[in-house]
Chains A and B, each alone.
Chain A
Amino acid sequence: MSKIGVFIETVDQEIKQSVFGVISAAASGGEVVGFLLNGQADTYKDQLAAYGVTELVDLAAGDIVFSKFPQAAGEALAKGATDFGVTALVGVSSPTGNDLLARAAMALKAPLALDCIDVDFNDSTVKKSHFSGKAIATLEMTGKLFVCGIRPNSFEAVEAPGTIIVTTHNIDIENSDDIIVTAVEAAGSGKKDLTEATVIISGGRPMASSENFKILDDCAEKLVAVVGASRAAVDAGFAPHSMQVGQTGKIVSPKLYIGCGLSGSVQHFAGMKTSKVIVAINTDKDAPIFSKSDYGIIGDLFEVVPALTKELEKQE
C-alpha cells in the first residue's frame, strides 16, 4: 500500500485545525505518514492516531530551528518525503503551508499544486477552483511524487483510530540564512484566523460595546468557533478590523456561521455567503439576514447566546 505524507502544521504548539481534514483526505490514498517540524511528536501522537496517522516523524536537522528557517524546513520536508518513500506530500494551503510545500516541491523537483479543493491519490489528480468557483479544473500530477496544498475545510475530518509509530528522523542539511523569520506578529485580536475557521460566531452593532463580545467569546469557546464582527460593530469601535467579516474585511466560508444582531447588509453577506449553514439571531423579524439564513432565531442576542452557551456546557 502506498504512503502519503502529510505536513502536520502547528500554530502556538497546537495542530492547526484544518490539518485533520487533510489527514482524512490522505487516508483515502494509503497509509498516512505525518511530518512534524517542531520536535514534539509525543504531545500530538494520540490526537493524530485518532484520525488515522500510522507513522509520525519528528524531522530534526541538528540544532536548526525550522520555524526560523523556512528554506531548511522546506528541504527537511522534502528529505522526509524521499526517505519515507511517500507518493505524495500534502498539507494545508495556509500561508505557512504554501510557503513550505513550495520549497519542498522545489527541492524534490516534483509537481506542485496549491489551494486544491479535491485530491485523488489513485489517479494522481487534483481539483482547483477557478473564476470564483465558476469553473473547476482537474490537474493531472505527473512524476512518481507530487506535492499538493489543500484549501482549508475542503475535507471533513473523519476519526479513524489506529496505532501510531513515532520516530525521530535525523537529516543532514546545510542551513542557509538567506531568510530568517525573526518574529511573527498576530494582527489585531490575536485570535484564530477567521478565514480558516470552521465555525464563526459574529456580532453586529447591537453588541453595543467591546466588553459585550465576551458573551460571544464564551460561546465560541464551547463551539470551537472564531469570533467575527460586522463592519458596523468595527466602525463603532467594538471590535478590531481584523475581526471584520464582509466585502471590505475577511471573506470567510465556514461550515457554520452564526450571526448575532446582524441586519445582513449586502456588504456583510458578500463576505460570508459561501458559509455552508447560516444561523441568524435578530430581534427584527424583517431583518434581511433571515432571508439568507438556514435557521433564524427571532430574539435578543443577549438572551439567546448565553442560553446557547449554557446548553453547550450541559452537553459537555
Chain B
Amino acid sequence: MTMYLALKSAIMAILLAAAFYLFRNKVKRLFLIMQSVDGEGPGEPDSIPQRIVVLFKDVLGQSNVRRKKMAGWAHTLIFFGFLAVQPHSLELMIRGVIPGFSVGHLVPGIYNFYLFVADILGFLVLAGFAYAAYRRFVEKPKYLTMGRDANLIILFTSVIIVTFHLINACQVVSPYAAHGYDYTGVFPISGIIVSLFGMETLSASTQTFLFETFYFIHMLTIMGFLVYIPGSKHLHLLAAAPNVFLKPLKREKAVQKTDIEDEDAESFGLGKINELNWYNVLNLYACTECGRCEEQCPADHTGKPLSPKAIVHDLKTNLFQWSDNILDGNKEEIEPFVSETSDITSDVLWSCTTCRACEDICPVNIQHLDFILEARKYQVLMEANFPTEMQDTFTNLENQGNPWGFSADTRGNWAKGLGIPTIQENPQPDILWFVGSASSFDDRAIKISKALAELLKIAGVNVAILGEQECGVGDTARRAGNEYLAQMMITQNVEALNECKPKRILTACPHSYNMLKNEYPDFGADFPVVHHSQFLLELVQQNRLILDERTLGSITFHDSCYLGRWNGIFDEPRELISRMNQGQAPIEMKRTRDKGFCCGAGGARMFMEETLGSYINVDRAKEIMDTGADMVASACPYCITMLQDGLKECESDIKVLDLAELLHRKIVNNS
C-alpha cells in the first residue's frame, strides 16, 4: 500500500504539473493576443467600487443570466454548484500528492458545514444539467449552437459532479478513503448513494478500489477540462467575469470618434482582426454562444444573414486564425475579415439596424455594435463598399444636410406661420428645439412637428428653432459608417449650438436626442437635452397643458430603440399615455421595453432596400395587430413611417400616431 501511495503521489504530481503548465501556456497566449492587437482600448477602469457591486450583482448574483428565467436558473445552479465543489477538488488534488493532507482535522466544524452545503449544491448542478440537456436535445431552440463543443462540456462536467458524489460516498464507508476522518452524516446526498447501493456491505478492498477509480476519473476529467477550456467556447468561464467587471456602466453610449484628421493614419475603422483593441478581444473571449442576442435580433428574426452571435463567433475564429501573425508582429499578411467569401459578408454587416437588442440582452455585456459600426466605417471610408442606395443619401446629406436632398435653405419652412421663431428672431429661448431632418421635410413627420408646435404655444413655452442654421444631426451618416460626412454635419451643428448656448435642447426625434445627448459632447457641444415624450409629460405634470376627459380608445406603445434601449426612456411615454387616456396604461406588445422589437429603420436602414428575408416592419405590425389596440403610439418619426407602411402591408387600419399628436387631440378643444 505504501508503495502504491508513493506511486500515486508521483503520478498525480506529474499530471497536475503538466495540466497546469498547459493551462498556463494557453492562458498566457490569450493574454498576449490581448496585448498585441493594435486598436486603442479603453484606459484604466473607473468607478471601481461601482464595478465591484456589478461583480456581486451580475456575476455572483447571476441577475443578468436570469433575465431568461428557466435557462437562467439552470445556469445559476450550475454556477454555484461548480464554485462549491472547487475547494473539495483542490483538497483531493493536494491529498493525491501529499497523502496525509486533510483540512477536516484542522477545522472540523467549518469543514463539515462546507461539505454539507457543497454536497447539496453539487447535486443541484445535475438538476441544472438535466434542464440544459432537455433544452439541447428536446427543445432545441434555433438560437442555440448545437455542437460537439457544448455536448463535450456537459459530459465533462456531469462526470465531475457524479464522481464528486461517488467519492463522497466512498469516504463515508471506506476507512482508506476517509483518511481517519469521520464522514458519517456529513453528506446529505452522497449519504443516500451509500444506502441506495448498500456500499457499507462491500468489502474494504472493493471500497478502496472504487474510491481510487472514482478519484482518478474525477481528477483526469478536471485536468482535461482545465486544458480544454482556453481553446473552447468555455473560455467564457475565465473571461466572463472580467468582461462584466469592465462593462460600460452607463446604458447610453456613443459611436467611437475616429480622428479623421490624423495624417499618419493608414486605415480608418475596423478592417482587419489585428485592429481590434484588447477590450474587444476580451469581449470575444467572454462569449459562450448562449444565443440570446440572436433570439432578440430583428435581422436574424426576419431571415437576414446577420446573427450577433455568429459575428462574435466568426470574429473569434478569425482572431485565432491570425493569432500567430498577431503574436509574431507579422501583420501585413492578415486579410480583411469582411469579404464575400468569408463568413462575415457585407450583407451581414449592412443588415444591422443598430437596435442594440443584442447588447442589452447579453448576460456578459458583449458590445456587438462596437464591431459592426467600426467595420462599417472601414467599408465606407477605406473600401467605398456600401449599399448602392446609400450613394444618393450620402450625396444629399453632404450637399443639403438632409437625406432626401431638399434644399437646405427650406429646412425651416414647415414652421412658417406657426408662430415658432428662429433663433435670430428669439435669441434667448428657454428651449431650443432641434427639429431634425425627418421632422422638417417629411410631410408625415411635419404633422407631428406642427402638433408639437401648437402644444408648446398653448403651454407658453419660450422656444426657438435653428431654422436654416440647423443641419441633419448626423445619425444616418454615422451609423452608415460615413464618419467623415457625419463629423462634417456634427461640426456644423456644434458651431451653431455653441453660438446660441441653449439652456435646454428639445427634440421629437430619438435619433437626434441620442446624438445631441451622447455623441455631441465628444465634439464640444454638451447641453441638456430633453425628448418631447419627457418634456410633454413635464408640461402636463406642471399643469401647463390641461387634458380633457375624452378617452382615446385602446393604445399600444412601440418603443423606439434610440429612445428605449439606447437611452433608457421607457417610462415617460407610458406615463404620458396613461395620463392622456384616463389612467389606462398602454397595452403592451409581446416584445416590449428593453426587449422591444425594432421597426427596421435604425442604423441608416431607413435609406436602404430590405431585399433579404422578410420585412421587419411587417413583423412588428403583426404584433401590433395581435394586441387588438385601436391605435399604436410611438415617439420617433422613422418608427412611425415604418409602422404605418407595415400596417398598410397587412391591410390593417390601426392608426399610427406620435405622442404629440395624441396629446394635441386631448388639448385642442379646451384651448
A36 to chain B, nearest CB (A): 34
Question: How far, in whole Å, are A265 and B608 apart by their CA atoms in the complex?
Answer: 15
Question: How far, in whole Å, are A273 and B404 apart by their CA atoms in the complex?
Answer: 10
| Closest chain B residue, CB of each to CB of A131 | B399
Which 5 A-B residue pairings sit nearest by Cβ, starting from the closest? Answer: A270-B404, A288-B443, A266-B442, A248-B389, A132-B399
A248 to B404, Cβ gap below 8 A? Answer: no
Question: How far, in whole Å, are A232 and B642 apart by their CA atoms in the complex?
Answer: 11
With contacts A248-B389, A267-B404 taken as known, whether A232 is within 8 angstroms of B609 at the C-beta atoms is: no
Beyond known contacts A236-B649, A267-B404: 9 more, CB 8 A cutoff: A232-B645, A232-B648, A235-B645, A241-B611, A247-B392, A248-B607, A266-B438, A270-B403, A291-B443
| Binary B-proximity of A34-69 (CB < 8 A = 1, otherwise 0) | 000000000000000000000000000000000000
| Binary A-proximity of B113-129 (CB < 8 A = 1, otherwise 0) | 00000000000000000
A252 to chain B, nearest CB (A): 12
Of A236, A266, A269, A288, chain B has the most CB atoms within 10 Å of the CB of: A266
Which chain B positions have C-beta within 8 A of A267?
404
With contacts A132-B400, A270-B405 taken as known, whether A264 is within 8 angstroms of B443 at the C-beta atoms is: yes
Which chain A positions have C-beta within 8 A of B444?
265-266, 288
In the assembled complex, A151 has its CB within 8 A of some CB on chain B: no
Contact partner, B443, options A205, A248, A266, A273, Cβ 8 Å? A266
| Closest chain B residue, CB of each to CB of A291 | B443
Which chain B positions have C-beta within 8 A of A265?
442-444, 641
Question: How far, in whole Å, are A270 and B406 apart by their CA atoms in the complex?
Answer: 8
A269 to B404, Cβ gap below 8 A? Answer: yes
A241 to B609, Cβ gap below 8 A? Answer: yes
| Binary A-proximity of B387-402 (CB < 8 A = 1, otherwise 0) | 0010011011001100
Contact partner, A248, options B396, B441, B609, B649, Cβ 8 Å? B609
With contacts A265-B444, A270-B405 taken as known, whether A205 is within 8 angstroms of B607 at the C-beta atoms is: no
Which chain A positions have C-beta within 8 A of B406?
270, 273
In the assembled complex, A8 has its CB within 8 A of some CB on chain B: no
Question: How far, in whole Å, are A23 and B460 apart by their CA atoms in the complex?
Answer: 63
| Binary B-proximity of A257-268 (CB < 8 A = 1, otherwise 0) | 000000011110
In the assembled complex, A251 has its CB within 8 A of some CB on chain B: yes
In the assembled complex, A314 has its CB within 8 A of some CB on chain B: no
| Binary A-proximity of B197-234 (CB < 8 A = 1, otherwise 0) | 00000000000000000000000000000000000000
Question: How far, in whole Å, are A288 and B405 apart by their CA atoms in the complex?
Answer: 18
| Closest chain B residue, CB of each to CB of A292 | B443
| Closest chain B residue, CB of each to CB of A234 | B609
B403 to A247, Cβ gap below 8 A? Answer: yes
In the assembled complex, B183 has its CB within 8 A of some CB on chain A: no
| Closest chain B residue, CB of each to CB of A134 | B399
Of B389, B403, B438, B645, chain A has the most CB atoms within 10 Å of the CB of: B645
Question: How far, in whole Å, are A205 and B647 apart by their CA atoms in the complex?
Answer: 13
B interface residues (Cβ-Cβ under 8 A, vs A): 389, 392-393, 395-396, 399-400, 403-406, 438, 441-445, 607-611, 615, 641, 645, 648-649
A162 to chain B, nearest CB (A): 42
Question: How far, in whole Å, are A205 and B646 apart by their CA atoms in the complex?
Answer: 12
Question: How far, in whole Å, are A49 and B585 apart by their CA atoms in the complex?
Answer: 75
Question: How far, in whole Å, are A265 and B615 apart by their CA atoms in the complex?
Answer: 18
Which chain B positions have C-beta within 8 A of A132?
395-396, 399-400, 405
Which chain A positions have C-beta within 8 A of B441?
266
Question: How far, in whole Å, are A232 and B443 apart by their CA atoms in the complex?
Answer: 17
Which chain B positions have C-beta within 8 A of A251?
392
A247 to B607, Cβ gap below 8 A? Answer: yes
| Binary B-proximity of A269-294 (CB < 8 A = 1, otherwise 0) | 11001000000000000001001000
B642 to chain A, nearest CB (A): 11
A247 to B443, Cβ gap below 8 A? Answer: no
Question: How far, in whole Å, are A236 and B641 apart by their CA atoms in the complex?
Answer: 16
Question: How far, in whole Å, are A235 and B641 apart by their CA atoms in the complex?
Answer: 15
Question: How far, in whole Å, are A131 and B444 apart by their CA atoms in the complex?
Answer: 27
A235 to B443, Cβ gap below 8 A? Answer: no
Which chain B positions have C-beta within 8 A of A235?
610, 615, 645, 649
B393 to A247, Cβ gap below 8 A? Answer: yes
Question: How far, in whole Å, are A104 and B321 apart by their CA atoms in the complex?
Answer: 51
Q: Which of A215-238 contact B (CB under 8 A)?
A: 232, 235-236
| Closest chain A residue, CB of each to CB of B437 | A266
Which chain B positions have C-beta within 8 A of A273?
404-406
A292 to chain B, nearest CB (A): 8
Question: How far, in whole Å, are A247 and B645 apart by their CA atoms in the complex?
Answer: 16
Question: How far, in whole Å, are A193 and B604 apart by their CA atoms in the complex?
Answer: 28
Which chain A positions have C-beta within 8 A of B645?
232, 235
12 contacts between A and B (CB under 8 A): A232-B645, A235-B649, A241-B609, A241-B611, A247-B389, A247-B393, A248-B609, A265-B444, A265-B641, A266-B441, A266-B445, A273-B405
Question: How far, in whole Å, are A254 and B367 apart by their CA atoms in the complex?
Answer: 47
B89 to chain A, nearest CB (A): 60
Q: Which of A236-250 contact B (CB under 8 A)?
A: 236, 241, 247-248
A137 to chain B, nearest CB (A): 15
B662 to chain A, nearest CB (A): 18
Contact partner, B404, options A232, A266, A288, Cβ 8 Å? A266
Question: How far, in whole Å, are A264 and B405 apart by their CA atoms in the complex?
Answer: 16
Which chain A positions have C-beta within 8 A of B399?
131-132, 134
A269 to chain B, nearest CB (A): 7
Which chain A positions have C-beta within 8 A of B607?
247-248
Question: How far, in whole Å, are A265 and B445 apart by their CA atoms in the complex?
Answer: 10
B171 to chain A, nearest CB (A): 70
Question: How far, in whole Å, are A241 and B388 apart by their CA atoms in the complex?
Answer: 13
Question: How far, in whole Å, are A89 and B609 apart by their CA atoms in the complex?
Answer: 39
Which chain B positions have C-beta within 8 A of A131?
399
Question: How far, in whole Å, are A273 and B438 apart by their CA atoms in the complex?
Answer: 16
Question: How far, in whole Å, are A132 and B406 apart by their CA atoms in the complex?
Answer: 10
Which chain B positions have C-beta within 8 A of A205?
648
A312 to chain B, nearest CB (A): 31
| Closest chain A residue, CB of each to CB of B646 | A235
Of A236, A248, A251, A273, chain B has the most CB atoms within 10 Å of the CB of: A248
| Closest chain A residue, CB of each to CB of B409 | A134
| Closest chain B residue, CB of each to CB of A244 | B609
A248 to B608, Cβ gap below 8 A? Answer: yes
B639 to chain A, nearest CB (A): 15
Of B389, B396, B405, B649, chain A has the most CB atoms within 10 Å of the CB of: B405
B257 to chain A, nearest CB (A): 27
B285 to chain A, nearest CB (A): 39
Which chain A positions have C-beta within 8 A of B611?
241
| Binary B-proximity of A122-166 (CB < 8 A = 1, otherwise 0) | 000000000110100000000000000000000000000000000
Question: How far, in whole Å, are A98 and B607 apart by their CA atoms in the complex?
Answer: 29
Which chain A positions have C-beta within 8 A of B608?
248
Question: How far, in whole Å, are A264 and B442 apart by their CA atoms in the complex?
Answer: 10
Which chain B positions have C-beta within 8 A of A288?
443-444
B649 to A247, Cβ gap below 8 A? Answer: no
B477 to chain A, nearest CB (A): 15
Which chain B positions have C-beta within 8 A of A291?
443
Question: How far, in whole Å, are A264 and B400 apart by their CA atoms in the complex?
Answer: 21
A251 to chain B, nearest CB (A): 6
Question: How far, in whole Å, are A270 and B400 apart by their CA atoms in the complex?
Answer: 12
A132 to chain B, nearest CB (A): 4
| Closest chain A residue, CB of each to CB of B637 | A266
Which chain B positions have C-beta within 8 A of A270?
396, 403-406
Question: How far, in whole Å, are A235 and B615 apart by their CA atoms in the complex?
Answer: 9
B479 to chain A, nearest CB (A): 16
A171 to chain B, nearest CB (A): 39
Question: How far, in whole Å, are A248 and B392 apart by their CA atoms in the complex?
Answer: 8
Question: How far, in whole Å, are A134 and B398 apart by their CA atoms in the complex?
Answer: 12
B390 to chain A, nearest CB (A): 9
Question: How far, in whole Å, are A247 and B641 apart by their CA atoms in the complex?
Answer: 14
Question: How far, in whole Å, are A266 and B637 apart by their CA atoms in the complex?
Answer: 12
A248 to chain B, nearest CB (A): 4
Which chain B positions have C-beta within 8 A of A232?
645, 648-649
B636 to chain A, nearest CB (A): 15
Question: How far, in whole Å, are A109 and B373 apart by their CA atoms in the complex?
Answer: 46
Which chain A positions have C-beta within 8 A of B393?
247
